[in-house]
A = this chain, B = another copy of it.
Amino acid sequence: MVFRKLVSVDEARRILEKSLKPKPAGTEFIPLSEAHDRVIATDVASPLNIPPFNRSTVDGYAVKAADTFGADEDHAVALKLAGRVNVGEKPRVRIVQRTTAEIVTGAPIPDGADAVVMVEHTSRKDDSVLVYQPAVLGENVMKAGSDIRKGEVMLKRGTVLSPFEIGVLAAVGFASVEVYGRPKVAIFSTGAEVVEPGKRLVEGKIFDINAHALSASVAQLGAEPLNMGIVRDEYDQMQAALKKALGMADVVITSGGVSVGPTDIIPKVLDKLGKPGVIVYGIAVRPGKPTTVAVIEDKPVFSLPGHPASALLIFHLFVRPVLLGMGGKKEEPQMKVKAVASERLFPARGRRTYITVTLKRGSSGRIVASPVPTGLSGAISTLAKAEGFTVLHESQQFVDKGQDIDVELFKPEFYYSLIGVKERQ
């Protein structure tokens, strides 16, 4: 392992992208009832026309349009009633010249008919139907295949399934769908000081935050977290844990342990486990500098800092795009708002700096962003109260009080509370 100097955020991304092409691990067939928010793994073509037959879009009478030409309020055309067509049945009637059949919405158009007259424009007299308005060819008929044509690609590979797409799959008769597998992500925390929540806290220890916050972050992206608990910061235990994790999962995330330096054992273990080994060892970013990224036989291992705010930021910047790619999802940019800085903001020298902020509407009507301290203290409560972050680039000297900044929002709800949209329609 070469002890490199810190690389920039962009350089770390380039190294990761060169070493790892995140691809979906595989596909699986699942029932439609479990398909919400999953990603289709193949283009899906329709095996049939939708609707499968010409359908009436109204209640009325199926006719030959030509028979109704010239009809008006004063000169009704009389047609002989030859039968009735119900929904869900094959029509048992055939429309010949000057005959008609009663038909309901959604029922198949009987052979010989080419239009439907709405019931409102007719009257009944014994076996005759009086038509008071001419029908044009195809009127009130939904043609077979007009919604979906047989053979048409309805849904593209990579589409995230919402209720609409699930409706489309049901429409053509699919009870199951081939989707990308959910990437499995093994997560563990390290450090002599951390204790599993729910256990007794002895003096000098703190409860483990990261494995839980990171598991939820993994679940949020549709991947499957495997929480492996706490692993002691000791060579043999760490090696065993990493081997086990690489055997079970597509991605491994560790957090905590000592800072970047000669006593950090995780990079040493990783470099022995497989090729290419450690590819990034320290990033010029605040927070999150002591980050190690390795690739072991095409599986990424992210060793994140122990501070929750740092771990979650590095997850966002580096792990999230990999998990989205492995899940077959496109990376969507997060929602941003323009705000003014409440005070002068300084970047860490030579490091890209992410500053967590809270937002409120200022007296000028503009949105004001106030920094909240999360970095050094690792305070999780302030992170939970923060609404987003702003980025100061490496070359930037500072952002002045009152200057415009972009704030990327943690949760889209904040957008609405800021914009104050309330109207319901």
A86/B203 contact (C-beta < 8 A), A376-B57, A377-B57, A416-B332 known: no
Binds B, one of A64-72, A102-110, A241-249: A102-110
User: Which DSSP category, helix, strand, loop or mixed, fits chain A's interface?
Assistant: loop
Q: In the bound complex, how far is the Cα of B207 from the Cα of A50, in angstroms? A: 9
Q: Which residue of B lies closest to A89 (CB)?
A: B204
- Tell me, yes or no, whether A252 is within 8 Å of chain B by CB: no
Binds B, one of A140-148, A178-186, A272-280: A140-148
- Tell me, yes or no, whether A423 is within 8 Å of chain B by CB: yes
Partner of A175, one of B48, B165, B198, B209: B198
Q: Which residue of B lies closest to A413 (CB)?
A: B332
Q: In the bound complex, how far is the Cα of B267 from the Cα of A290, in angstroms? A: 65
Contact A381 B86 (CB under 8 A): no
Q: In the bound complex, how far is the Cα of B384 from the Cα of A165, in angstroms? A: 6
Partner of A197, one of B173, B217, B227, B259: B173
Question: How extensive is the interface on chain A, given as a class?
Answer: 35 or more
| A198: chain B residues within 8 A (beta carbon) | 173-176
- Tell me, yes or no, whether A25 is within 8 Å of chain B by CB: no
- Tell me, yes or no, whether A8 is within 8 Å of chain B by CB: no
Contact A88 B204 (CB under 8 A): yes
A197/B32 contact (C-beta < 8 A), A57-B376, A170-B213 known: yes
List residues of A (355-411) whose CB comes within 8 Å of B's CBs: 376-384, 386, 391, 408, 410-411
Contact A421 B166 (CB under 8 A): no
Q: Which residue of B lies closest to A425 (CB)?
A: B391
A108/B163 contact (C-beta < 8 A), A171-B209, A408-B425 known: no
Contact B416 A167 (CB under 8 A): no
Contact A410 B204 (CB under 8 A): no
Q: In the bound complex, how far is the Cα of B91 from the Cα of A203, in angstroms? A: 9
Contact A52 B201 (CB under 8 A): yes
Partner of A205, one of B33, B88, B202: B88
Binds B, one of A74-82, A127-135, A188-196, A342-350: A188-196
Contact B214 A147 (CB under 8 A): no
A146/B48 contact (C-beta < 8 A), A32-B197, A163-B214, A196-B175 known: no
- Tell me, yes or no, whether A172 is within 8 Å of chain B by CB: yes
- Tell me, yes or no, whether A268 is within 8 Å of chain B by CB: no
The distance from the CB of A190 to the nearest CB of chain B, in whole angstroms, is 11
| A88: chain B residues within 8 A (beta carbon) | 191-194, 204-205
Q: In the bound complex, how far is the Cα of B142 from the Cα of A193, in angstroms? A: 15
Contact A206 B335 (CB under 8 A): no
- Tell me, yes or no, whether A208 is within 8 Å of chain B by CB: yes
Q: In the bound complex, how far is the Cα of B142 from the Cα of A194, in angstroms? A: 17
**Which residues of A pack against B, CB within 8 Å?**
32-33, 35-37, 48, 50-53, 57, 59, 86-91, 104-108, 142, 146-148, 154-155, 161-176, 191-194, 196-199, 201-217, 219-220, 225, 227, 258-259, 306, 308, 312, 331-333, 335-336, 352, 376-384, 386, 391, 408, 410-413, 415-416, 421-425
Question: Could you list 17 examples of A-B contacts with CB < 8 Å?
Answer: A32-B212, A36-B216, A90-B203, A91-B204, A107-B193, A147-B377, A154-B384, A162-B410, A162-B411, A164-B386, A164-B410, A167-B213, A167-B308, A175-B198, A331-B424, A333-B424, A336-B421
Given contacts A108-B204, A173-B201, A331-B424, 13 further A-B contacts (CB under 8 A): A50-B206, A86-B192, A88-B191, A89-B192, A142-B377, A148-B381, A167-B216, A169-B197, A169-B212, A173-B198, A173-B199, A175-B197, A332-B416
